[in-house]
A and B are shown apart, each in its own frame.
Chain A
Amino acid sequence: MGRIIGIDLGTTNSCVAVYENGKYVIIPNAEGQNTTPSVVAYNDKGEALVGKVAKNQAVTNPGKTVYGVKRLIGRKATDKEALDFKKVAPFDVFANKNGDAWVKVGDKEMSPQEVSARILEKMKKSAEDYLGQPVTEAVITVPAYFNDAQRQATKDAGRIAG
């Protein structure tokens, strides 16, 4: 009977809300902001930084700061969108053995789902801190134009995040 949260997993920013007393309430993150930048970075120690902190250090660590993975999630590396994004992204976008678009962060190869999961984890943590109870169910938004593969991949990200 836990609470169900709603996460707007955006390309640039993400947001989490819960339905309470007949209306939705936006849950602020640990920094007191209603939105969290959809940016994930890995520092030299291998720790994942998510949100504003990751964005703040982007200039110093461009190869290991991943953003905009929503453009890659559930897409093949040969898709036009993935190719276009590859041209502008400071990190490497490549095709894994199935031909899916993945990202290379330093030496680590990661799926967009794994990166999105880090963002979802942070959103989930904000919600848990706010509600004071564990959250196990969530509704994650996807754009109306997302195809089956993209929707499935977003669900996988949610599953990885728990």
Chain B
Amino acid sequence: MQNGETQEEEVKTEANTNEEVEVEAAPEESESTESTKDEYKDKYFYIAAEMQNMQKRFEREKENLFKYGNEKIMTDLVDIIDNFERTLGFIENDEDEKVKNIAVGIQMINKLFNEKLERHGLKKIEALDVEFNPEFHEALSQRAEEGKANNTVVEVYQNGYTLNDRVIRAAKVIIAKND
């Protein structure tokens, strides 16, 4: 019995000590709770803002995906247009009747091909005889050209294209420079 009483007393004393410790620690804890609260509040605002930005970004990315998603394939197809134009350049003025017919055929295919791609946002960059604009044109060289103002495109070496107003290939050009 005596042992039991002693144990109880010990337990009580321990409990008292704990209470005392808790009471003493209370002001400190409330301060730290306050700062933790502020910290979480800051984090919440940050994450909310981040979420909003992310949403906006996803919207923009979705839009861009629709507009420019086929950029790579368009860039590759543009090479085919180049080759059509190159072929026509060689055979267009041929005297042979057979070749003339082939040229007409290629011209028709080229036109159809261009029209189809235009429907998907591809557009040829106007370059010849316009003022050089580095956003759309890539200067390969300069040469003196009578009757042309400085900085005017005098020759288009390779056509440039835009896809929904974004340049996918700048036109490679030669520009006038008269001293």
A binding-site residues for B, Cβ under 8 Å: 1, 31-32, 49, 52-60, 130-133
Contacts and interface: CB of A to CB of B under 8 A. Distances in A.
A102 B151 CA distance: 29
A31 B134 CA distance: 13
B110 interface: no
Interface of B: 42, 46, 49, 53, 56-57, 64, 68, 71, 132, 134-135, 137-142, 151, 166-167, 170, 175, 177
Given A56-B170, A60-B142, A131 B53 contact: yes
Contact of B175 (A32, A58, A60, A132): A60
- From DSSP, what is the main secondary structure of chain A's interface residues? helix
Contacts, number: 42
A60 B56 contact: no
A7 B139 CA distance: 29
B53 A56 contact: no
A59 B56 CA distance: 40
B166 A60 contact: no
Nearest to A52: B170
Contacts of A54: 134
A31 B57 CA distance: 17
Contact of B134 (A32, A53, A133): A53
Nearest to A28: B64
B137 A56 contact: yes
A58 B134 CA distance: 9
Nearest to B55: A132
A60 B134 CA distance: 10
Nearest to A131: B53
Contacts of B64: 32
Question: Closest 6 interchain pairs by CB?
Answer: A57-B134, A132-B53, A56-B134, A59-B139, A56-B138, A53-B134
A132 B57 contact: yes
A130 B42 CA distance: 23
B167 A31 contact: yes
